[in-house]
């Protein structure tokens, strides 16, 4: 196995262009496990550890340009107000040790439906900055996930950053696992209210072959909030609408039975999470939310 | 305050030649304790563990840290199917790989003996013609580097012809079922109803028909217990070093050195004395190291190559590298009169032993004899059996057959209490056994059995606050909620439940087993002070035996400096570190050896000073503070003075009182040495919409006879309770019913409790002496594992109103989806 260790981003892109089969390695929380268990034996590893700008973030107009390797710990600590949904999701990633190493770039590169960042990115609205020696393209997050562990990156592209829309309203993230910490999602749900555009976006994890949005649910709720003048009055959507929203979120799932949970359970649980997160988000929108200690 | 400084191991260990081997020999525990003043650190004190700080700081040397110059790495090829005929094994490509030094298959085994097993020698060292479970070893490779060994193993070509898999009682005991072990010659074989039944033990006591007719209330239920893994953190590992005399030195993490050696030597074609074993640092055991894992393979590769061979399983392989707790199906019928007295119990317990026998027969004996729980019942009809199937082999795990039964009988006791209309704890206390009660086996419980008191104690503890997530002053602390950091609830859907359970576990090896231990104790003067050393073959697997042995020596010999020598086979067998027995049995042997040393020292003293000092002929001389003290407190002489240049050394075997086998038809017999009891109260919060559970508190009361090391006792109780929590809520090896393949061999999908799943655990320790046992002590390690699980299940039932019959409970069981 060849271990390539470029000193700069340009060099990394050149290496990736020359060796499209080279597997990028950043935090290593996915790749090293696969290597250790012999699930994967790439000819080349492309270590991005020396490229410091991948660990930085900056403001980029209405978005935060989040370097691919910014560790989850930093997201939790530093980006709670700008990216609250992603910060909540970061808090549920594995253990403190893993959160110190892993970043969103790895989640996107692996593109597992169970990646914790995906529902938050889908709900916030984001673009993946995919770069090659040919140039830079911004892939909308909605077009990024193609299948189980398949994404829209070209073989010669690396993830430089993800541009996540700065929160204009409350965001929530909740994840079901069979223990109270350090667990892979049985299913997960992200919700973002966007008062500026009077819209709602969602993201569902681990309940379909890829992370997905519940578009019908979003449209339904957006419509209800408009019709009921919720944005203007601050009144919550009627309970029947919240239930309908939850049902539509469940319906957006196409889950499987596996060792972590049943399809039926996932569908049901996504509905419960949708209803609850909507309640919390709306409470916050009205300024009456309570602090959640221990969460981001 | 006890002032213990961690010392170092002796710089020279006789009989170990090379520096590296010596290093290997002493890996593991620092074994020297020194104390500065006073006769402290004896029995009854919370002496700190010598390995504690090293373990939490990552400095402890485990068996996987062994190293030797010029060593090779061993690796096993394991089957990818659960049941198949092996048509061919082609190792030529693997053997031709550069860096590979040996590839062994069944045909390369050097001796006539090619199988091993704790009780029944039915397990092939390497598979022969037949694969009986997923992950069965087929070939062993030695190479310069572990990765080379692993890749070479992948190049071995195995041709299989798949066979239908037997995965449950129906398929295993069908009249035309494939027989998994043909031509059985073991002593259970003539008595089993089907050749795929390892062992069957009935228990019959009283007239069950008549008793059942008296019952005003009868409850029947079928229960299922999932397959739990020991999930020890240090994977199977060790190193075999070939010796000049044709023998081998093996450094390994195990639970019983001598039992390993008894199984290893015949396969190597060596006499036992040429297989010299030393305990390496053990990273937990819980029963999972009772059976052999890599021991024979490493020795075979070392003897074949003439080079030291190290083997370390990775986590994936570890899930295939040791036996698990038997999954079980249990059918119970309980009856009671209107006034709440148990009339009778009928039970049928089917344990899945998997592909090989391991300790299944003894697990069956426990499940049968302890099937009724700590209750007085005059009429009992029980059948327990273990199956051979193509599922992973199952054997010893903390609680050993008593765990599965407790889960079921405690569920039954709740249901029966409800039927009678009594409080569940009161109903248990009314039927609780006590000293003098008779077991279903006819054995009289002749030492304290404070079952009612234990239940009383946990019930009287104050209940934890409701809605703890709101305690932070207006905010919500999600860590206190079901789902924890996953942020699934801020209080919505959360319902509290409380449940109780109590259990009974035997201590020590049962059914007539000659369950002895050996200890060698030496007393000598060093630097003007008497110091003791204790040498046993006891496997320290984390239970804290090393502090116990030093404590006993201090108490018995009145010294402060005690060296606990590394465990090896240069001293007689200590028996297994299992069945909650080591403090009792090897502790008993150390105590006895100390007593014999003391007698000799007193003889020496009398011979040297007796003529001049009449106090020497008085009764009641004791050893205290490094001196011999007369009954009236007069100091007669210093121990160092008495010993001079002479060392007093005694090696002795010690046995607890004998037991007898259970009758094969009636199950009657005084089969157990001692019983231990624990009760739990579980308080849970359940998110009933998502099926997520947070155990809020898990209180335990246990009688330990005598807490030799109180801190270690509490640690055992909390650890056992946590392992019971794991199998209540998350721990299960999932085996595909159609293929027999293990679906979750990783800590990603085999979940064990994290700190956020582990609640506060108040512990009440009772010390009611058992007069048969050293210091009156009672084995501690297993009882708390029993009642923890049913207490949590009861609490979850109380919160949800669901009639849950299986453990572990999964979220979908609580939401109906």
The string of DSSP letters for B650-684 reads: EEEEEEPPP--PPPTTT--S---SEEEEEEEEEEE
Q: In terms of domains, do A140 and A191 share one?
A: no
Residue that finishes a domain, picked among A109, A135, A165: A165
- Report how far residue B100's alpha carbon sits from residue B94's, in angstroms, rounded to the nearest whole number: 7
CATH number at residue A71: 3.30.465.10
Phi, psi values for residue A61, rounded to 5°: 60, -125
Q: Identify from A180, A187, A289 which residue to disrupt to test chain B contact, counting B C-beta atoms within 10 A and taking the largest count.
A: A180
Whether residue A161 is contained in a domain is answered as yes
Report which secondary-structure segment, H or E, holds B202: strand B197-205
User: Is A98 a domain residue?
Assistant: yes
The answer for residues whose C-beta is within 8 angstroms of residue B323's C-beta and 6 or more apart is B287, B288, B290, B291, B354, B358, B359, B392, B393, B394, B395, B396, B397
The partner residue sitting opposite B490, judged by closest CB among A36, A178, A292, is: A292
The nearest CA of chain A is from the CA of B297 a distance in Å of: 21
- Domain-located, residue A290: no
Query: b/e map of B10-33 (b: 16 or more CB within 10 Å)?
Result: eeebeebeeebbbbbbbbbbbbbb
Same domain, residue pair A234 and A256: yes
Question: Tens digits of per-residue pLDDT, B1-12?
Answer: 333 333 333 323
Same domain, A10 and A95: yes
Q: Is residue A294 part of a domain?
A: no
Cβ partners under 8 Å of residue B317, min gap 6: B76, B78, B135, B235, B236
Does A189 lie in the same domain as A142? no
- Nearest-CA distance from B327 to chain A in Å? 17
pLDDT in tens, A239-291: 999 999 999 999 999 999 999 999 999 999 999 999 999 999 999 999 855 44
Domain B451-505+672-815: give its CATH code.
3.30.365.10
Would you say A130 and A154 are in contact if contact means Cβ atoms under 8 Å apart? yes
Q: Which top CATH class is B4-17+29-55+516-655?
A: alpha beta
- Identify whether the C-beta of residue B113 lies closer than 8 Å to the C-beta of residue B131: no
The CATH number of the domain holding residue A179 is 3.30.390.50
Q: Chunk chain B into consecutive blocks of 10 residues (it has 817) and report each block's average pLDDT, rounded to whole numbers.
A: 33 33 37 42 95 94 97 98 98 98 98 98 97 98 97 97 97 97 96 98 98 98 98 97 98 98 98 98 98 98 98 97 98 98 98 98 98 98 98 98 98 98 98 98 98 98 94 81 95 98 98 98 96 98 96 97 97 98 98 98 95 91 95 94 97 98 98 98 98 98 98 97 98 97 96 96 98 98 98 98 97 90
Model pLDDT for residues A205-216, shown as the tens digit of each residue: 999 999 999 999
Range(s) of chain B covered by CATH 3.30.365.10: 4-17+29-55+516-655, 451-505+672-815
d(CA A184, CA A200): 26
Distance CA B597, CA B583 (A): 20
Which of A227, A279, A226, A273 is CA-nearest to residue A247?
A273
pLDDT at A38: 84
A242 and A106 in one domain?
Answer: no
Q: Which residues pair with B538 in a beta bridge?
A: B256
- Which of A88, A261, A291 lies closest to B811 in CB terms? A261
**Rounded distance, CA B162 to CA B82, Å?**
8
Task: Decide which of A165, A194, A209 is a domain's last residue.
Answer: A165
pLDDT tens digit sequence for B511-551: 999 999 999 999 999 999 999 999 999 999 999 999 999 99
The secondary element (H helix, E strand) that includes residue B534 is strand B529-535
| A155 and A177, same domain (yes or no) | no
* Burial of residue A266 (number of CB atoms within 10 Å: 0-12, 13-18, 19+): buried
> pLDDT tens, A153-163?
999 999 999 99
Residue A144 and residue A26 share a domain: yes
- Give residue A259's pLDDT: 93
In 3D space, the residue among A73, A171, A181 whose CA is nearest the CA of residue B486 turns out to be A181
Instruction: Say if residue A19 is exposed, middle or buried (CB neighbours under 10 Å; 0-12, 13-18, 19+).
Output: middle
Q: Does B316 touch chain A (CB under 8 A)?
A: yes
Report which of A182, A171, A185 is spatially closest to residue A79, judged by C-alpha positions. A171
Q: Would the CB atoms of A293 and B483 count as touching at under 8 Å?
A: no
Q: Is A182 within the bounds of a domain?
A: yes
Other CB atoms closer than 10 Å to residue A3's CB: what's the count?
A: 10
The verdict on residue A257 lying in a domain is yes
Asked if B490 and A262 come within 8 Å (Cβ–Cβ), the reply is no
Q: Do A20 and A147 belong to one domain?
A: yes
Fold of the B72-163+235-282+289-321 domain: Aldehyde Oxidoreductase; domain 3 (3.90.1170)
Rounded CA gap, A142 and A126, in Å?
A: 8
B692 touches chain A (CB under 8 A): yes
- For position A200, what pLDDT does the model report? 98
Domain count, chain A: 2
Contact at CB, A180 and B691, closer than 8 angstroms: no
Q: How many CA atoms lie within 13 A of B79 on its CB side?
A: 33
DSSP β-ladder status, B342-352 and B379-387: parallel
CA end-to-end distance (rounded Å), chain B: 56
Domain containing residue A6: 2-41+55-165
The residue that leads in pLDDT, A292 or B433, is B433
A188 and A156 fall within a common domain: no
Q: Over B85-139, what HEC string results? A: EEEEEECHHHHHCCCEEEEECHHHCCCCCCEECCCCCCEECCCCCEECCCCCEEE
Regarding whether A258 and A122 lie in a shared domain, the answer is no
Pairing of strands A23-25, A44-47: parallel
The residue with tokens 């190597």 is B268
Task: Report the C-alpha dihedral over residues A170, A204, A180, A182, rounded to 10 degrees.
Answer: -110
Cβ–Cβ pairs < 8 A, chains A and B = 127
User: Which residues, 6+ apart, have CB-to-CB distance to A61 below 8 Å?
Assistant: none
Chain B residues closer than 8 Å to A269 by CB:
690-691, 811, 815
Contact predicate B63/B289, CB 8 Å: no
Last residue of a domain, one of A112, A141, A165: A165
Measured between CB atoms, does B80 come within 8 Å of chain A? Answer: no
Closest to B756 (Cβ–Cβ): which among A174, A181, A290?
Answer: A181
CA atoms within 13 A on the CB side of B423: 8
The answer to whether residue A50 is domain-embedded is: no
Q: What residues of chain A, 82 to 121, have a C-beta less than 8 Å from chain B?
A: 88, 91-92
What's the pLDDT score for residue A291? 47
Outline which parts of chain B fall under CATH 3.90.1170.50. Answer: 72-163+235-282+289-321
- Looking at residue B15, its pLDDT comes to 31
Degrees (nearest 5) of the Cα angle B779, B780, B783? 105
């Amino acid at each position: 196995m060849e271990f390539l260790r470029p000193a700069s981003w340009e060099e990394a892109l050149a290496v990736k262009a020359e060796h499209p089969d080279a597997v990028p390695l950043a935090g290593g929380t996915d790749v090293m496990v696969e290597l250790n268990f012999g699930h994967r034996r790439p000819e080349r590893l492309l270590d991005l550890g020396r490229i410091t700008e991948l660990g930085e973030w900056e403001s980029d107009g209405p978005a935060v340009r989040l370097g691919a390797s910014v560790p989850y710990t930093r997201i939790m600590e530093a980006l709670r107000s700008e990216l609250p949904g992603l910060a909540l999701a970061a808090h549920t990633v594995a253990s403190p040790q893993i959160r110190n190493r892993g970043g969103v770039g790895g989640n996107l590169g692996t593109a597992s439906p169970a990646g914790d960042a995906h529902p938050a990115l889908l709900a916030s609205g984001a673009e993946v900055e995919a770069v090659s020696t040919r140039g830079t393209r911004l892939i909308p997050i909605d077009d990024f996930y193609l299948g189980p562990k398949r994404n829209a990156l070209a073989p010669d592209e690396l993830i430089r950053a993800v541009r996540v829309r700065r929160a204009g309203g409350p965001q929530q993230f909740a994840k079901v696992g069979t223990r109270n910490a350090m667990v892979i999602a049985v299913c997960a749900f992200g919700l973002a209210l966007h008062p500026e555009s009077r819209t709602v976006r969602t993201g569902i994890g681990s309940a379909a072959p890829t992370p997905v949005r519940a578009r019908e649910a979003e449209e339904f709720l957006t419509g209800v909030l408009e019709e009921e003048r919720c944005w203007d009055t601050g009144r919550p959507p009627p309970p029947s609408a919240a239930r309908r929203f939850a049902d539509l979120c469940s319906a957006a799932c196409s889950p499987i039975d596996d060792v972590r949970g049943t399809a039926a359970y996932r569908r049901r649980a996504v509905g419960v999470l949708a209803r609850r997160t909507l309640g919390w988000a709306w409470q916050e929108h009205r300024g009456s939310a309570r602090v959640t200690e221990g969460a981001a | 305050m006890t002032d213990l400084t961690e010392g170092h191991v002796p710089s020279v260990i006789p009989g170990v030649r090379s520096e590296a081997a010596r290093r290997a020999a002493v890996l593991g525990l620092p074994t020297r304790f020194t104390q500065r003043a006073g006769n402290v650190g004896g029995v009854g004190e919370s002496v700190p563990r010598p390995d504690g700080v090293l373990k939490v700081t990552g400095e402890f040397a485990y068996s996987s840290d062994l190293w030797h110059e010029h060593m090779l790495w061993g690796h096993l090829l394991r089957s990818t199917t659960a049941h198949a005929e092996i048509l061919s094994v082609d190792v030529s490509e693997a053997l031709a790989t550069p860096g590979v030094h040996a590839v062994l298959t069944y045909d390369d085994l050097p001796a006539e003996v090619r199988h091993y097993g704790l009780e029944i020698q039915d397990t092939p060292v390497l598979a022969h013609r037949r694969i009986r479970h997923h992950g069965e070893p087929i070939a062993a490779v030695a190479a310069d580097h572990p990765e080379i060994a692993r890749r070479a193993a992948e190049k071995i070509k195995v041709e299989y012809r798949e066979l239908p898999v037997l995965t449950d009682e129906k398929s295993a005991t069908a009249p035309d079922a494939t027989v998994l072990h043909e031509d059985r010659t073991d002593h259970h074989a003539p008595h089993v109803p089907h050749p795929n039944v390892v062992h069957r033990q009935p228990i019959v006591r009283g007239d069950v028909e008549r008793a059942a007719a008296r019952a005003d209330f009868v409850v029947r239920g079928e229960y299922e217990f999932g397959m739990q893994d020991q999930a020890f953190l240090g994977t199977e590992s060790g190193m075999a070093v070939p010796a000049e005399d044709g023998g081998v030195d093996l450094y390994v993490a195990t639970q019983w050195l001598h039992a390993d050696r008894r199984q290893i030597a015949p396969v190597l074609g060596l006499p036992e004395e040429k297989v010299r074993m030393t305990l390496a640092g053990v990273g937990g055991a819980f029963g999972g190291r009772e059976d052999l894992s890599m021991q024979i393979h490493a020795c075979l590769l070392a003897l074949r190559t003439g080079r030291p061979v190290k083997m370390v399983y990775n986590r994936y392989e570890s899930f295939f590298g040791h036996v698990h707790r038997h999954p079980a199906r249990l059918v119970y019928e309980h009856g009671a009169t209107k006034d709440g007295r148990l009339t009778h119990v009928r039970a049928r317990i089917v344990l899945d032993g998997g592909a090989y026998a391991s300790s299944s027969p003894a697990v069956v004996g426990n499940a049968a004899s302890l099937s009724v729980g700590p209750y007085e019942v005059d009429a009992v009809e029980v059948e327990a059996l273990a199956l051979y199937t193509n599922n992973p082999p199952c054997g010893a795990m903390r609680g050993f057959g008593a765990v599965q039964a407790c889960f079921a009988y405690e569920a039954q006791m709740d249901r029966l209490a409800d039927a009678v209309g009594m409080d569940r704890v009161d109903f248990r206390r009314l039927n609780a056994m006590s000293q003098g009660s008779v077991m279903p086996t006819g054995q009289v419980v002749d030492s304290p059995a404070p079952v009612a008191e234990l239940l009383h104690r946990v019930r009287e503890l104050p209940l934890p606050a409701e809605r703890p997530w709101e305690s932070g002053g207006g905010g919500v602390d999600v860590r206190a909620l079901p789902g924890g950091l996953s942020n699934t609830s801020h209080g919505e859907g959360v319902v509290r439940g409380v449940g109780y359970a109590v259990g009974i576990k035997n201590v020590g090896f049962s059914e007539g087993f000659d369950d002895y231990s050996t200890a060698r104790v030496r007393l000598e003067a060093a630097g003007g002070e008497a110091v003791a050393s204790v040498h046993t073959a006891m496997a320290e697997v984390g239970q804290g035996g090393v502090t116990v042995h030093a404590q006993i020596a201090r108490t018995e010999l009145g010294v402060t400096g005690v060296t606990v020598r590394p465990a090896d086979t240069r001293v007689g067998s200590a028996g297994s570190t299992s069945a909650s027995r080591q403090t009792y049995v090897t502790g008993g042997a150390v105590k006895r050896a100390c007593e014999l040393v003391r007698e000799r020292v007193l003889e020496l003293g009398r011979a040297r000073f007796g003529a001049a000092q009449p106090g020497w002929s008085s009764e009641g001389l004791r050893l205290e503070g490094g001196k011999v003290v007369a009954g009236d407190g007069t100091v007669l002489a210093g121990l160092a003075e008495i010993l001079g240049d002479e060392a007093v050394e005694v090696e002795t075997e010690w046995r607890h009182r004998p037991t007898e086998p259970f009758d094969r038809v009636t199950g009657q017999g005084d089969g157990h040495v001692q019983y231990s009891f624990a009760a739990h109260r579980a308080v849970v919060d359940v998110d009933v919409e998502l099926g997520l559970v947070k155990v809020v508190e898990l209180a335990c009361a246990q009688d330990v006879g005598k807490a030799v090391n109180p801190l270690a006792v509490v640690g055992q109780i909390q650890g056992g309770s946590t392992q019971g929590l794991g199998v209540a809520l998350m721990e299960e090896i999932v085996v595909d019913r159609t293929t027999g393949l293990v679906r979750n061999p990783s800590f990603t999908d085999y979940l064990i409790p994290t700190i956020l799943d582990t609640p506060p655990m108040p512990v009440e320790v009772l010390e009611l002496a058992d007069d048969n046992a050293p210091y009156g002590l009672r084995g501690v390690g297993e009882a708390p594992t029993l009642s923890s699980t049913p207490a949590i299940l009861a609490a979850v039932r109380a919160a949800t109103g669901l009639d849950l019959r299986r453990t572990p409970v999964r979220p979908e069981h609580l939401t109906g989806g």
